[in-house]
Structure 1
Amino acid sequence: MGEFVYHMVPKEMIGTKLIPLNSLKNPYPHLYKKYANKYFDNPERPKLLKKQIPKLNCLWNDVLHFLPLHPHYVYQALTSLEIHTNEKQHFFKIPIERLQNNKNAIYLYSKEKYKGPAEAIDENEIILLNSEDYKELKEIPLATSEYYEIESKKGNRFGLFPYIPHLLSLGEVDVSNVEMITWNHPE
């Protein structure tokens, strides 16, 4: 059995390749504007657009962001707290081999070192990755479940993937003929 990374299926996509947000700017300005909008829902989030990624030597939106665990774990954590979700959220289930021509890194995204969207990423939080050494995670971090519970009780709108390591990939990824899954099914 191979290893996979997961990416939420964009609502609007042209072609069969996932393209980093900053690379959408020139060929597809309407898509860039649509997907960049999510960074303006909080006064701190626009600062992510200028955030540097150590070791990859690029900006936050110069890379594709992948979930290194099956999204069903996220779905389970949310629904166990009775947090309403879109049951049919679709994800691409991408064989790790599709990333082998890119420069890849794991962003550990730990609660202890994360200082917010405006602050620099600690260089020790980025681990360069050879796709052949990649292994999927089998559970979400406890800090993530605690975050969901706290933010839900406060009635806040919150992100889906806090404190879950991200696989960052510098380059495009072809998703033609990859499986599309919904997160409410474990497989």
Structure 2
Amino acid sequence: MDSLHTRPFESTKNIKGITFPGFVSFRQLLITGPPGAGKSTIIRQLGGWSEEGYIDLSLKNWWTAQSLSLRPREIHLGFPFKGAKEALTVFDKAWIDASPPLEIDFERIVLPPPKRFFFSVNWKERYVFEFILPEPDALLRQRIKRAKLGTHHVDEAVNLERIKRQLSVFRQVAKYLHQQGISIYIREGTEGGPLQIID
């Protein structure tokens, strides 16, 4: 479940100097990924809402959360894990300290309903999630550089193994949401182009 097979989109567009899939509209965008991946960098370039939003994917109707009303936006995701009562982010102490590492509880991820009526909202198409997932070594370098500035406490004691675990969680969830019909694409860094997940 951890591996992702991707390829570039055939149709793309340029929005404020950044390449996006051709089907994406500016107001659909939700940018997510592990700490230090470059979410804020892209949001700033887009002129979007850099204030971090949060979504607990185990909550009923998370897709109607007020934090999603302002887009494009940087979003942190809370994930349900087996053995954990509440959703956790990959920078929560309970997730970091867990031994053995916690497994995602996919059955507790709540999915938007299908469009039922002509005038009802198609929640699966309302948002497009961009998952920024750099290679582990590149992300480690970014985190170490940022740690020297002391601006983000999540960079304290950062190491390659933790980064690999964080990336694994995001890859698994991106693949799962894609398989459930939610619009997802991958970017392997702030300088990279958008990639579609292929089954």
State the TM-score, normalized to the length of structure 1.
Answer: 0.30
Choose between structure 1 and 2 for higher RCO, CA contacts under 8 A separated by at least 6 residues.
1
Q: TM-score, normalised by structure 2?
A: 0.28
